[in-house]
Structure 1
Amino acid sequence: MEKSVKVCVTGGAGYIASFLIKHLLERGYTVHATLRSLNDASKVGLLKGLDHAETRLKLFEGDIYNPTEFAAAIHGCEFVFHVATPMQHEGGKYKSTSEAAVAGVKIIAESCIESKMVKRLIYTASVMAASPLKSDASGYEDAIDESCWTPLNLFYEMHSDYIYSKTLAEKEVLSYNGLGIEVVSLACGLVGGETIQSLVPGSMRTLISQALSDETLYKGLRALEDLDSKVPIAHVQDVIDAHIFAMENSNMNGRFLVASDFLKSTEIASFIMKYYPDIIILPELIEDTERETKWGSTKLNALGFHYKFDAGQIIYDSISCAKRLGAI
């Protein structure tokens, strides 16, 4: 692919988006990145400080709660990475984060089509939308793969707004596949490994919550485990490579799960204690569910994508990152 190509990345200062922008610039792409406010000096500084940002990065304002702003950033681009997602409801014209997220992907998809230039819209989805739970709450399917959708008729004690938001938004964005653009949805596992941000990202903190002795974050880890039977995890570098692979592979469209490993939280604790024997994990933060659901997703691998980081490396790098940033 000619690296003079322009691409758009929404939610530019977020964990995955900022890492993605860094690697796109390093590979020679010109990047249009959106931020909720160009007056946020720390977020603007993070992106403007990247290599090649001076010549090949342009920043735009774009807020999910005012999604018409994204059209200017999309203009002139051949590929759009929609990474931004509302985490907390902010009122206004939408009744919930779900309504805001769905409206956001709808307007962004339509802006892509209207631009007449965008070839592919790549959406950063979540495995929280891909639960193998049976809709009658009788248990789990034998395996988790791209055919799994989180049942929205069930009650979820934690992260219910986010679960609904990511599930409904992913279904909405996939409905545009073939309607003037190609759509790829990458349902990513819990992401860790490294960051270019100054603080440990929330997903990484949840992944290593047992090492942090953080009971609240551990409840979030267990909630994901209860939702997906086990915890799908991925290194941020593999996640970024999957996004760029989705852009550069001409035969790619539809839904793909992105995770190199599928672990019980007890197995995550075992990796922490193996690589960092100085870290003491509280006994109450180790619970074995004894579930045996399998990882059944092979679509990404079948197209030639290869994960570079295994579970041990993901945990090791995440703890190392947390230590570097003073969280441990």
Structure 2
Amino acid sequence: MANTAKGKVCVTGASGFIASWLVKRLLESGYHVLGTVRDPGNGKKVGHLWGLEGAKERLQLVRADLLEEGSFDDAVMACEGVFHTASPVVTGSNSKEEMLDSAINGTMNVLRSCKKNPSLKRVVLTSSSSTVRIKDEADLPPNVLLDESSWSSIEFCESLQIWYAVAKILAEKAAWEFAGEHRIDLVTVLPTFVVGPTLSPELGPTASDVLGLFQGETGKFTTYGRMGYVHIDDVARCHMLAYEAAGARGRYICSAAVLDCGDLAALLARRFPAYPVPRSLPRAYGEQSYGFDTSKARALGLAEFKGVEEMFDDAVASFIGHGHLPAAEERRHA
């Protein structure tokens, strides 16, 4: 049974892929959750949250917009802790300036609201492993294990026009600087590529990329190259541990396994033969062999991560359940 003595926490961007799973686990654990969304009245966007266990008793949704200063004041003031998971919506039409401005100013707007709450215990910020792993070959020796002390090269990201990574790097660094100046207890979680079941029938960019792989599309994962992968439930668990553990400090890489895109495609083609998963993918960046040191997250309490097979099994089951993929039996007889 859930421990209903737990306090109230704010989750920004509560209807998102990671955030909605985090809301689910927080409610199950007994927290009262105040979720911010851009339109609380849009049942299509937030309906999956109201179906969660404990939502009717302990979930409140309020409007807030990342790019409106002061928009998060009321939500943050009502809570003991904040999980800042919201990210500006990224589309192909976003310019470099729009993406950087949205990510940095959005994070700063939330933290400025946090500064106004003297009773706030901790802020957990969702960052990304893209802030750690994108470097020139000279800075990535063979078989290197990257840990939380590593930062991606902004210059190298800019040369490849990976603006998402640049935005995440600059937003996290700005958050650390602001938290240090204003004595905010900040912890950051750095997930690798997040895979698993979606609560919402509407797919975000990450889940859409995974779905595309099972529909025979190769473009996205070819450009990803070597990548870490992690189950969405482990990401939610890592956020909660980072909030609850008194000794949590700094950054936490959250990753189960690291695979080259070709190896991932081969694994999934064998495991899901009914779908047109490509059996191989070209190496966009040559030979890469880096891995992630996840000892810090394991010491926090994530002793075991769910494996690659389980995360993709769960993702496919979710796609079928939401009607995005036909069941394997249906596909074989189509």
TM superposition score normalised by structure 1 = 0.87
Distance 1:303 1:43 in 2: 33
- 1:70-81 equivalences under 5 Å are 70-81=72-83
Question: Counterpart of 1:111?
Answer: 113
Question: Is the alpha carbon distance of 1:157 and 1:274 closer, same or farther for their aligned partners in structure 2, counting shifts above 3 Å?
Answer: farther
CA 1:8/1:139 → structure 2, altered by over 3 Å: closer, same or farther?
same
Q: Which residue of 2 aligns with 1:213?
A: 216
AA in 2 matched with 1:114: K
Question: Which residue of the partner structure matches residue 255 of structure 1?
Answer: 251
Which residue identity does 2:148 align to in structure 1? E
When structure 1 is superposed on structure 2, of 67-76 and 315-324 the one drifting more is: 315-324
Cα distance, 1:112 vs structure 2? 1.5
* 1:20-35 to 2 correspondences below 5 Å: 20-35=22-37
Provide Cα deviations, 1:267-288, integer angstroms capped at 9, x if missing partner: 21122123222223345x5225
Maintained 8 Å contact 1:185/1:256? yes
Contact 2:67 2:109 in 1 (8 A): no
Q: In the superposition, relative to structure 1, how do residues 159 and 186 fare at CA in structure 2: closer, same or farther (>3 Å)?
A: farther
Residue in 2 that maps onto 1:241: 237
Q: What does the per-residue CA deviation read over 1:243-288, in whole Å, with 9 as the maximum and x for residues that have no partner?
A: 11111111002111111111111221122123222223345x5225
Q: Is the 8 A contact 1:186 1:257 kept in 2?
A: yes
Equivalent residue, structure 2, for 1:291:
288
Give the corresponding residue for 2:87. 85
Alignment of 1:19-98 (within 5 A): 19-88=21-90, 95-98=97-100
Decide whether the 8 Å contact of 1:76 with 1:117 is kept in 2.
no
* SS of match in other structure, 1:154: helix
Structure 1 unaligned blocks of 5 or more: none
Check conservation: 1:3, 1:27, Cα contact below 8 A.
Answer: no
Deviation at 1:37, TM superposition (A): 1.7
Partner of 2:318: 321
Return the offset for 1:132. Answer: 4.4
| Aligned equivalent of 1:273, options 269, 294, 308 | 269
Quote the residue 1:193 is aligned against. Answer: 196
3-state DSSP of counterpart to 1:50: coil
Distance in structure 2 (CA, Å) of the matches to 1:297 and 1:212: 32
With over 3 angstroms needed to count, the CA separation of the structure-2 counterparts of 1:50 and 1:112, relative to structure 1, is same
SS of 1:85's equivalent? coil
CA contact (8 A) 1:12 1:33 kept: yes
Letter of the 2:282 counterpart: E
Per-residue CA deviation, residues 118-176 of structure 1 (Å, 9 max, x unaligned), is 11100011112222413xx6462423221222211125587733222111111111224
Task: Name 1:120's counterpart in structure 2.
Answer: 122
Q: Distance in 2 between matches of 1:122 and 1:168?
A: 17
1:17 match: 19
* Contact 1:195–1:201, Cα closer than 8 Å, also in 2: no
The residue identity in structure 1 corresponding to 2:295 is T
Q: Does the CA contact (< 8 Å) of 1:74 and 1:80 recur in 2?
A: yes
- Per mean C-alpha deviation after superposition, the further-off stretch among 315-324 and 18-27 is 315-324
* SS of residue paired to 1:80: strand
Gaps of 5+ in 2: 326-334
Structure 2-normalised TM-score?
A: 0.86
Deviation of 1:19 after TM superposition, in Å, equals: 1.1
State whether residues 184 and 255 of structure 1, in contact with CA within 8 Å, keep that contact through their aligned partners in structure 2. Answer: yes
Q: Is the 8 A contact 1:132 1:144 kept in 2?
A: no
CA distance in 2, matches of 1:249, 1:177: 19
| 1:203-248: CA deviation from partner (whole Å, max 9, x where unpaired) | 1332454322123xxx3323332xxxx2111101111111111111
Matched position secondary structure for 2:323: coil
For residues 97 and 289 of structure 2, the distance between their equivalents in structure 1, rounded to whole angstroms, comes to 38
Give, in whole Å, the separation in 2 of the partners of 1:24 and 1:149: 30
Number of residue pairs aligned between Structure 1 and Structure 2: 316
Q: 1:269 to 1:105 in 2, by over 3 A?
A: same
In structure 2, what is the Cα distance between the partners aligned to 1:4 and 1:98?
A: 36
For residue 33 of structure 1, report the CA deviation from its aligned partner: 0.6
> Structure 1, residues 60-97: CA drift from partner, whole Å, max 9, x if none?
11111114111111112111000111133899xx9522
2:301 equivalent in structure 1: 304
